[in-house]
Amino acid sequence: MLPRYGFRLSIELPSLPYADAFDVIEQVILYRHCVPATVWKFQRWVGIGEERKMRQAQECFDGFLEEIIRVKRKEALDKKEMETVVDDDFLTMILSGEAGIDQGKLTDGFLRDVVFNLLVAGRDTIAAALSWFFWLVAKNPNVEEKILKELDQVMGKETSFPSTEELNKMVYLHGAMCETLRLYPSVPYEHKQSIEPDVLPSGHAIDGNTRILLSIFSMGRMEEIWGSDWMDFKPERWISVGSTDEKKMVVSHVPAYKFAAFMAGPRTCLGRKIAFVQMKAVASCVLRRFKFEVVDDHPVVPDASILMFMKYGLKVRVSNRA
């Protein structure tokens, strides 16, 4: 079973308190977007309803982050003063001074925010996208066949982890990933707020302090943007022929303001390229080894969260490929 928040091969694996707390935080954030601010602020003040859950979840998750920061501070100290070899990660690089950040700013509060944002950006977004990808591929065997054919052409008989060069050659797989994010973006909406009066590119005048909700999910399903076949899972819409070699397929350029799964302009996701590398690496390794068959009558619907999760996970039958 591919569960709601990621992948595991056994449903008997225990749940982690900090992971459950993180899920509650994401759900309550959506709740805050759906009710007047006075409602959730009152609940927070008296400690009831969803805000009570939020407070308990924050206490649990903050305890988890404090332990991470404590351990990483020790690792950074060992690395810096004792030249101990430790596993490099972004937080250790920050603490050891390798990231070029002023050490005077590295308070526990600052580091807590850094770790929290890294988890928000990378923990569930990739897992959610891959869940929808495997479901769409399982429901579209013609796409699966083309992906497998491309993987065989790029990797040959090699079954080890693909190299960066090989990942860059997986054009059709890249198109399938883009098509997945068009239909089921990991972040289905974006919330903005104007500081002062302005005029939107559409010509609509807005006042200062105006909330604007952009539905990335809806944009990916608009006929005027994607054409009459917007419902079709069609990786080909992201592929074109090379400018110098008509036999070479390349990923088409699609403006970020049309495909806004990673936002656009100054707010473009910094981890966009890393996300595609991770998704393509996982997908190529899994699809070459296993075939997924979605269990009949298993409901596949989005969950109510700030991220595009599957409400009931993805229940599949897994078989080895011959």
Say yes or no: 177 and 64 in one domain.
Answer: no
Give a yes or no: residue 3 inside a domain. Answer: yes
Say yes or no: 64 and 104 in one domain.
Answer: yes
Q: Which of 91, 122, 153 is the last residue of a domain?
A: 122
**Which one-letter amino acid corresponds to residue 213?**
L
Give a yes or no: residue 313 inside a domain. Answer: no
Say yes or no: 254 and 115 in one domain.
Answer: no
pLDDT value at residue 7: 47
Q: How far apart are CA 199 and CA 129, in angstroms?
A: 34
pLDDT value at residue 186: 92
pLDDT value at residue 87: 57
Biggest CA-to-CA distance, the chain: 66
pLDDT value at residue 6: 45
Say yes or no: 234 and 181 in one domain.
Answer: yes
Per-residue CA distances from 287 to 137, 238, 249, 322 (Å) = 10, 21, 21, 12
- C-alpha dihedral sign at 297, 302, 304, 310: positive
pLDDT value at residue 134: 96
Say yes or no: 159 and 283 in one domain.
Answer: yes
Residue 228 in tokens: 């009459």
Give a yes or no: residue 111 inside a domain. Answer: yes
Phi, psi (deg, nearest 5) at residue 215: -95, 95
Q: Which domain holds residue 160?
A: 140-291
pLDDT value at residue 70: 87
User: Which residues of the chain register pLDDT less than 70?
Assistant: 1-13, 79-88, 97-103, 158-159, 242-247, 322
Say yes or no: 270 and 203 in one domain.
Answer: yes
Say yes or no: 159 and 95 in one domain.
Answer: no
Say yes or no: 200 and 277 in one domain.
Answer: yes
Residue-wise pLDDT tens digits, 286-299: 999 999 999 988 99
pLDDT value at residue 189: 87
pLDDT value at residue 88: 64
Give a yes or no: residue 52 inside a domain. Answer: yes
DSSP structure string for 212-227: EEEEHHHHTT-HHHH-
Give a yes or no: residue 35 inside a domain. Answer: yes
Residue 230 in tokens: 């917007």
Give a yes or no: residue 317 inside a domain. Answer: no
Residue 116 in tokens: 């929290």
Say yes or no: 15 and 94 in one domain.
Answer: yes
Instruction: Domain count for the chain, please give it.
Output: 2
Say yes or no: 36 and 71 in one domain.
Answer: yes
Q: Which of 96, 122, 148 is the last residue of a domain?
A: 122
Say yes or no: 32 and 173 in one domain.
Answer: no
Q: Which of 61, 96, 122 is the last residue of a domain?
A: 122
Give a yes or no: residue 310 inside a domain. Answer: no
pLDDT value at residue 5: 44
Per-residue CA distances from 103 to 79, 108, 111, 112, 315 (Å) = 15, 12, 11, 15, 47
Q: How far apart are CA 65 and CA 135, in angstroms?
A: 33
pLDDT value at residue 243: 55
Q: How far apart are CA 212 and CA 283, in angstroms?
A: 35
Q: Is 285 annotated as a binding residue?
A: no
Q: How far apart are CA 172 and CA 206, in angstroms?
A: 41
CATH number at residue 232: 1.10.630.10
8 Å CB contact between 185 and 220: yes
- C-alpha dihedral sign at 122, 124, 127, 133: negative
8 Å CB contact between 143 and 180: no
Say yes or no: 40 and 103 in one domain.
Answer: yes
pLDDT value at residue 158: 67
